[in-house]
């Protein structure tokens, strides 16, 4: 059928060397899942096709550039992990205030190459294009900005980096792709972090930070794979009641999908979401035991919200990072500003997604 996505045609439209063939299997699984399970609208089909083509194009650019950077050593990475909607974004934003930290910005994830100087006309144009992308997304996905605010110049999640290996939960958020999600759970994630490192190399070739600050809830069950690529990585794990986080990520996912699909089975969404994060949590629990205390710190949402500054100080102390006076002042100012920011309340329940509190607690607490 002409309205189906086609991997061969998509690849033929690209004239770049995409590097190793590790993209072929996930591409075929993803395309088949989108065609047979996602129930995409015509716009959804075009959007998914555009996204995949764009991700592969950037992949090719990264591969070409990274070959000229064989001896570049990545600065120590700090990963913020935890279930989605557990306060990771607020914590990430606080930690990103540190001048010694660098996080990939949204516009850099969209258009990292060719490399450009800070403040240059090229950089400004890429930021403008990224703002246009966000404007379009907010038109088609109602309430997205209220639920997960993104700006062109703000740090963003690594799921936008993992797409270069075509192994990212982003695609599941966009459309119902259960076969692809199962593949994602079972496949070796090491290749995702090989491309992750290549991407950071490209950015670091322009400016080397003391540490990289990174975030993505889907890192949760991938500690072994991360450490195989980044042996000096450290992890900040924020914990929150899963009966609060699971319906929240289901609600966000359903809002995103409304822009691309004809219908959404909320019960299936709830089941798939709970299964994925249960498996991620089990992997995390078995893998974290291999880490030293100075590589891993657990913090708790309730304590963090009550006293964000104390939580940040605890993190720095655990990793023996210097917490400067300047950084403390920036953190206090951000906390004060955030407390004054009004937010729209989002109403969602576990029951909307065929789940109940007891089941979620039994499987995730």
Boundaries of every domain in the chain: 7-364
Most confident region among 3-7, 220-224, 338-342 by mean pLDDT: 220-224
State the average pLDDT over residues 9-22. Answer: 93
Write down the pLDDT at residue 1. Answer: 40
Residue 341 reports pLDDT greater than 80: no
The alpha carbon of 245 is separated from its chain's Cα centroid by a whole number of angstroms, namely 16
Helix H or strand E segment including 199: helix 190-204
pLDDT for res 144: 64
Query: What does pTM read for this prediction?
Result: 0.94
Q: What is the pLDDT of residues 162-214, one digit of tens each?
A: 999 999 999 999 999 999 999 999 998 999 999 999 999 999 999 999 999 99
Categorize the per-residue pLDDT at 343 as very low, low, confident or very high, splitting at 50, 70 and 90.
low
- Specify the fold of 7-364: Rossmann fold (3.40.50)
> Which pLDDT does position 150 carry in this prediction?
82
Q: What is the pLDDT of residues 271-321, one digit of tens each?
A: 999 999 999 999 999 999 889 989 999 999 999 999 999 999 999 999 999
Does position 29 have pLDDT exceeding 50, yes or no? Answer: yes
Say which residue, 72 or 33, is predicted with more confidence: 33
Per DSSP, the residues of 136-186 read HHHHHSTTHHHHS---TTSB--THHHHGGGT--THHHHHS--HHHHHHHHH
Half-sphere exposure of 77 (CA within 13 A, CB side): 26
- Other C-beta atoms closer than 10 Å to the C-beta of 6 total 13
């Amino acid at each position: 059928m002409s309205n189906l996505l086609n991997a061969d045609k998509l690849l033929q439209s690209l004239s770049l060397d995409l590097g190793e063939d590790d993209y072929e299997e996930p591409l075929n699984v993803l395309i088949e899942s989108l065609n047979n399970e996602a129930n995409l609208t015509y716009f959804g089909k075009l959007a998914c096709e555009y996204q995949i083509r764009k991700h592969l194009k950037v992949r090719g650019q990264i591969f070409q550039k990274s070959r000229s950077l064989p001896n570049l050593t990545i600065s120590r990475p700090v990963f913020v992990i935890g279930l989605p909607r557990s306060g990771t974004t607020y914590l990430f934003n606080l930690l990103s205030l540190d001048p010694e930290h660098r996080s990939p910005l949204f516009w850099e994830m969209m258009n990292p190459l060719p490399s450009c100087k800070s403040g240059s006309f090229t950089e400004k144009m890429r930021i403008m294009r990224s703002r246009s992308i966000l404007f379009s997304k907010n038109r088609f996905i109602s309430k997205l900005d209220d639920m997960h605010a993104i700006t062109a110049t703000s740090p963003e999640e690594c799921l936008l980096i993992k797409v270069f290996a075509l192994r990212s939960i982003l695609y599941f958020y966009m459309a119902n792709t259960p076969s692809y999600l199962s593949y994602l759970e079972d496949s070796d994630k090491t290749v995702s972090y090989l491309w992750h490192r290549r991407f950071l190399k490209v950015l670091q070739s322009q400016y080397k930070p003391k540490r990289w600050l990174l975030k993505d809830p889907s890192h949760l069950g991938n500690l072994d794979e991360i450490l195989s690529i980044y042996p000096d990585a450290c992890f900040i794990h924020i914990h929150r009641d899963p009966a609060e986080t699971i319906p929240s990520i289901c609600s966000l996912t359903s809002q995103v999908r409304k822009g691309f699909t004809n219908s959404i089975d909320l019960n299936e969404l709830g089941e798939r979401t709970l299964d994925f994060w249960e498996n991620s949590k089990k992997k995390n629990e078995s893998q974290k035991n291999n880490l030293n205390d100075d590589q891993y710190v657990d913090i708790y949402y309730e304590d963090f919200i009550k006293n964000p500054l104390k939580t940040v100080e605890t993190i720095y102390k655990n990793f023996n990072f210097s917490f400067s006076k300047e950084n403390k002042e920036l953190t206090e100012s951000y906390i004060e500003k955030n407390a004054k920011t009004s937010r729209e309340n989002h109403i969602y329940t576990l029951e909307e997604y065929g789940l109940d509190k007891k089941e979620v607690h039994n499987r995730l607490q």
